């Protein structure tokens, strides 16, 4: 068993203020033994890339409830790539209509967790896929 603790940056992109889910997921990830930094609300793409680089994140996780995920992720992707985080695990959860999943995958989000996902599924996915 690996004894390192994957570092996760959990971010709330854009203006969306619905953080109940993000905070619940943050607690679950901590309980599971990950090192979690939760950015708080109102993060720009630049702020998320900077924060991920600053903590040398193994996993970048977004929680988006207000529908702007595609346009946000399109702006975030090149910034994460430029920050040297292209090989890390990117995941996203929230109100993510099925029709948007292929585009999110294309943008590099390997884990997509729409509303009603289970906490243990999120934890298991990260355990199996963390770099």
Judged by the rule CB under 8 A, the positions of this chain that interact with other proteins are 14-20, 23-24, 26-28, 35-42, 44, 51, 66-68, 70-72, 75, 95, 97, 99, 114-116, 118-120
Closest distance to other proteins from the beta carbon of 71 (Å): 3
Residue 55 CA to residue 1 CA, distance in Å, equals 23
Half-sphere exposure of 97 (CA within 13 A, CB side): 6
Closest distance to other proteins from the beta carbon of 105 (Å): 19
Write out the two tokens for 53: 């680089």
Closest distance to other proteins from the beta carbon of 119 (Å): 6
Distances (CA, A) of 77 to 1, 68, 81, 118: 32, 14, 6, 26
Pick between residue 1 and residue 46 the one whose CB is nearest to other proteins.
46
The answer to whether 72 and 103 are in contact (CB under 8 A) is: no
Q: Cβ neighbours of residue 3 under 8 Å, at least 6 residues apart?
A: none
Closest distance to other proteins from the beta carbon of 74 (Å): 9
């Amino acid at each position: 068993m690996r004894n390192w603790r994957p570092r996760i940056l959990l971010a709330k992109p854009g203006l969306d203020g619905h953080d109940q889910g993000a905070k619940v997921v943050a607690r679950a990830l901590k309980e599971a033994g990950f090192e979690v930094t939760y950015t708080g609300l109102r993060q720009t793409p630049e702020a998320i890339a900077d924060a991920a680089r600053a903590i040398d994140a193994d996993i970048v996780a977004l929680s988006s409830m207000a529908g702007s995920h595609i346009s946000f992720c399109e702006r975030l992707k090149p910034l994460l790539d430029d920050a040297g985080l292209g090989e890390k695990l990117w995941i996203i959860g929230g109100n993510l209509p099925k029709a948007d999943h292929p585009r999110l995958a294309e943008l590099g989000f390997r884990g997509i967790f729409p509303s009603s996902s289970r906490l243990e599924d999120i934890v298991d996915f990260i355990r199996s896929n963390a770099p």
